[in-house]
């Protein structure tokens, strides 16, 4: 029993450690994968906003360059010192609402339409800071608020006029309202909405567990390199649904693991603990080692226990057989002593007719020694004769129905002589009521004078 308990304890400890390790690994791996996916998605959203703003500004920048390089604009600026009347169609096509030209000190020189002078507050007012801000590229962009509307301004340096007495224009500013345009033109892989916030918020992405939304923020900078606003993109990606499915799969996997662990534990305990103990209990109760032999196990510990119990049972059975044999021999000797003292002739034969017992009186009656009679066929050694066949049939039916027959009988001896006897024949059965032989008690009838 102790060996089995040690085996079960070892199994439980090892299996528990392995199961905890597997579950922990799955949980950590899943968590790390989810965090990595979320980080990648957040970074991709920031890149998406940055790229969108760049792509959205390219057509305007190209249009502003084309407008600035047109001969009509140069002639108007250099000769007439005004913007041409056909500039409105070009501005509308490029998405600009106004164009303002300034000199080197950022003083407005020209404006189109004339109402554009109302946007002067969004122009730079620090020449040195502005020149440091201007990029090395042809066009520089920055953002500024006018009242409650956010504008994107594209700035380029104008070609100087070569004509004598030409204008002093050096910078050309093109402005367009971008809030509505961003909302209409932003292309995302997941459904969502875009908005412009004021004041500006730092760049980053936040995830709301309640709404399962990602909120991505990208700051927009003014001409002085300070953020003036931020673009906010809210999306509900299919990625969140995927992670939810993975979470359910993980829970299902853990549940299956627990069920399999419980099932395996039950099978193992039943195989190596419950069933062996049950068979050992039955073997002890019924004193039958065959219950233990029913277990076919290659484990050396169980085999040692099995062999030990089988040896104990075999020794007990051997001792019991010796005691029973002695008792049986004593009883048989006692019975034989009794039968040998009877005055009646007694002999017995088995179910095949072979004589197994022959007493002294039988020797005297039939003049046949015991050693010659035992082992012979009773019906061949002593032949019974019937006056009529019905008597023989009556004897057979009586033995079959009642197990005993009694009556007169004529017997022929081996030397051919005949004797008249009174015989009693009894059926002998074992403990299972199976026929094992017959017992015959014979005596000569007393002849009255």
Q: What is the CATH number of the domain that holds 348?
A: 3.30.450.20
Residue 349 confidence (pLDDT) = 92
What integer is the mean pLDDT of 433-446? 86
- Whether residue 366 lies inside any domain: the answer is yes
Residue 411 belongs to domain spanning: 342-443
pLDDT band at 449 (very low <50, low <70, confident <90, very high): very low
d(CA 1, CA 5): 6
Q: What is the DSSP string of 73-103?
A: HHHIIIII-S--TTHHHHHHHHT-SEEEEE-
- 231-240: average pLDDT: 76
- For residue 31, give the H/E element and its range: helix 2-69
Cα separation values, 95 from 99, 171, 173, 175, Å: 11, 19, 13, 9
Q: Residue 323 domain-assigned?
A: no
- Give the DSSP per-residue string, 192-249: EEEEEESS---SEEEEETTTTEEEEEEEEE-TTS-EEEEEEEEE--HHHHHHHHHHHH
Q: How far is CA 359 from CA 244, 344, 408, 412, in A?
A: 99, 9, 21, 19
Q: What is the mean pLDDT of residues 72-94?
A: 68
Lowest mean pLDDT segment, chosen from 180-189, 248-257, 437-446: 180-189
Give the total number of structural domains in the chain. Answer: 2
Judge if 64 and 186 occupy the same domain. yes
- Cβ neighbours of residue 139 closer than 8 Å, sequence gap 6 or more: 61, 64, 65, 154, 155, 156
Residue 187 scores a pLDDT above 60: no
Contact 46, 216 (CB under 8 A): yes
pLDDT, tens only, 11-28: 667 777 777 777 777 767
Lowest mean pLDDT among 214-218, 310-314, 351-355, 378-382: 310-314
Residues 229 and 377 occupy one common structural domain: no
Mean pLDDT calculated for residue range 135-154: 86
Average pLDDT, the chain: 77
442 within 8 A of 362, measured Cβ to Cβ = yes
Report whether pLDDT(98) > 70.
Answer: yes
Structure tokens at 163: 């004509």
As a whole-number percent, the residues of the chain with pLDDT over 90 amount to 4
Neighbours of 352 (CB within 10 A): 8
* Alpha-carbon dihedral sign for residues 107, 111, 114, 117: negative
151-167 average pLDDT score = 72
At 437, phi and psi to the nearest 5?
A: 160, -165
- 305 versus 174: the higher-pLDDT residue is 174
Rounded mean pLDDT, 387-391: 78
Instruction: Return the SS3 of 429.
Output: strand
Alpha-carbon span 93 to 57, nearest angstrom = 13
The lowest-confidence range among 60-74, 181-195, 340-354, 377-391 is 181-195
**284 pLDDT above the threshold of 60:** yes
- List the single range of 10-14, 51-55, 79-83, 140-144 with lowest mean pLDDT: 79-83
**Does 448 score more than 50 pLDDT?**
no
User: How high is the pLDDT of residue 66?
Assistant: 78
Lowest mean pLDDT among 39-53, 115-129, 153-167: 153-167
Phi, psi (deg, nearest 5) at residue 167: -70, 170
Question: Is residue 22 reached through a cis peptide bond, with omega within 30 degrees of 0 on the bond before it?
Answer: no
Among the three residues 238, 263, 279, which one is the final residue of a domain in this structure?
Answer: 238
Helix (H), strand (E) at residue 252: helix 238-269
pLDDT of residue 75: 66
Provide the pLDDT for residue 164: 47
Query: pLDDT tens digits, residue range 198-221?
Result: 888 888 888 777 767 778 888 989
Residue 286 lies in a domain: no
With beta carbons less than 8 A apart as the criterion, state whether 196 and 204 touch.
no
The whole-angstrom separation of Cα 88 and Cα 211 is 46
Q: Read off the pLDDT of each residue in 361-384 and give the average, rounded to a whole number.
A: 89
User: Is 70 or 398 the better-scoring residue by pLDDT?
Assistant: 398
More confident residue, 36 or 371: 371
Q: Determine contact, residues 177/149, Cβ cutoff 8 Å.
A: yes
Structure tokens at 174: 């093109």
Q: Are 232 and 347 part of one and the same domain?
A: no
More confident residue, 282 or 187: 282
Domain boundary among 203, 238, 273: 238
Averaged pLDDT for residues 122-145 = 87
> Is residue 270 one of the residues assigned to a domain?
no
Phi/psi at 112 (5° precision): -140, 130
> Looking at the domain assignment, is residue 200 inside a domain?
yes
Does 182 reside within a domain? yes
Stretch 144-173: mean pLDDT: 77
Q: Are 8 and 15 in contact (CB under 8 A)?
A: no
- Residue 231 to residue 236: CA distance in whole angstroms: 17
Residue where a domain stops, chosen among 189, 209, 238? 238
- Whether 110 maps to a domain, the answer reads yes
Angle ∠(29,33,36) on CA atoms, nearest 5: 140
Q: Same structural domain for residues 43 and 169?
A: yes
Query: Please, what is the angle between helix 300-340 and helix 275-286, to 10°?
Result: 10
Both tokens of residue 95? Answer: 């998405």
CA–CA gap between residue 215 and residue 202 (Å, rounded): 12
User: Which secondary structure element, helix H or strand E, spans residue 315, and what is its range?
Assistant: helix 300-340
Cα 363 off chain centre by: 86
The verdict on 234 and 349 lying in the same domain is: no
Whether residue 252 is contained in a domain is answered as no
Residue the block writes with tokens 């004797």: 419
Looking at the predicted structure, is the pLDDT value of residue 354 above 90? yes
Query: 403-427 pLDDT, tens per residue?
Result: 899 888 888 888 888 888 889 999 9
């Amino acid at each position: 029993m102790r060996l089995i308990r040690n085996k079960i304890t070892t199994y439980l400890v090892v299996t528990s450690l392995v199961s905890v390790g597997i579950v922990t690994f799955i949980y950590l791996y899943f968590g790390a994968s989810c965090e990595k996916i979320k980080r990648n998605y957040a970074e991709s959203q920031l890149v998406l906003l940055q790229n969108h703003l760049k792509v959205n500004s390219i057509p305007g920048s190209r249009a502003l360059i084309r407008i600035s390089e047109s001969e009509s604009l140069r002639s108007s600026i250099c000769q007439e010192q005004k913007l041409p009347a056909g500039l409105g169609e070009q501005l509308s096509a490029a998405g600009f609402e106004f164009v303002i030209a300034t000199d080197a000190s950022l003083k407005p020189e020209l404006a189109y339409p004339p109402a554009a002078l109302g946007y002067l507050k969004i122009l730079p007012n620090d020449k040195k800071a502005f020149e440091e801000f201007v990029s090395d590229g042809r066009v520089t962009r920055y953002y500024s608020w006018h009242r409650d509307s956010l504008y994107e301004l594209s700035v380029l340096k104008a070609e100087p006029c070569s004509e004598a007495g030409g204008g002093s224009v050096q910078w050309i500013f093109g402005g367009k309202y971008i809030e509505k345009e961003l909302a209409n033109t932003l292309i995302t892989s997941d459904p969502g909405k875009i908005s412009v916030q004021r004041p500006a918020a730092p760049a980053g992405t936040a995830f709301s567990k309640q709404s399962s939304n990602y909120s991505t923020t990208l700051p927009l900078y003014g001409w002085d390199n300070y953020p003036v606003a931020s673009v906010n993109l809210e999306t509900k990606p299919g990625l969140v649904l995927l992670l939810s499915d993975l979470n359910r799969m993980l829970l299902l996997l853990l549940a299956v693991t627990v069920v399999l662990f419980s099932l395996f534990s039950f099978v193992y305990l039943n195989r190596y603990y419950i069933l062996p103990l049950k068979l050992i209990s039955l073997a002890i109760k019924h004193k039958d080692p065959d219950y233990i032999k029913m277990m076919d196990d290659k484990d050396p510990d169980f085999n040692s226990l099995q062999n030990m119990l089988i040896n104990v049972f075999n020794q007990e059975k051997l001792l019991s057989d010796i005691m029973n044999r002695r008792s049986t021999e004593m009883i048989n000797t006692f019975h034989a002593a009794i039968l040998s003292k009877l005055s009646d002739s007694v002999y017995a034969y088995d179910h095949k007719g072979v004589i197994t017992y022959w007493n002294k009186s039988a020797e005297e009656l039939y003049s046949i020694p015991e050693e010659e009679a035992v082992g012979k066929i009773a019906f061949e050694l002593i032949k019974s004769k019937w006056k009529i066949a019905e008597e023989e049939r009556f004897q057979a039916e009586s033995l079959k129905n009642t197990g005993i027959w009694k009556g007169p009988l004529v017997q022929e001896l081996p030397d051919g002589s005949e004797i008249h006897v009174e015989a009693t024949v009894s059926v002998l059965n074992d403990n299972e009521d199976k026929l094992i032989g017959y017992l015959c008690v014979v005596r000569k009838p007393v002849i009255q004078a």
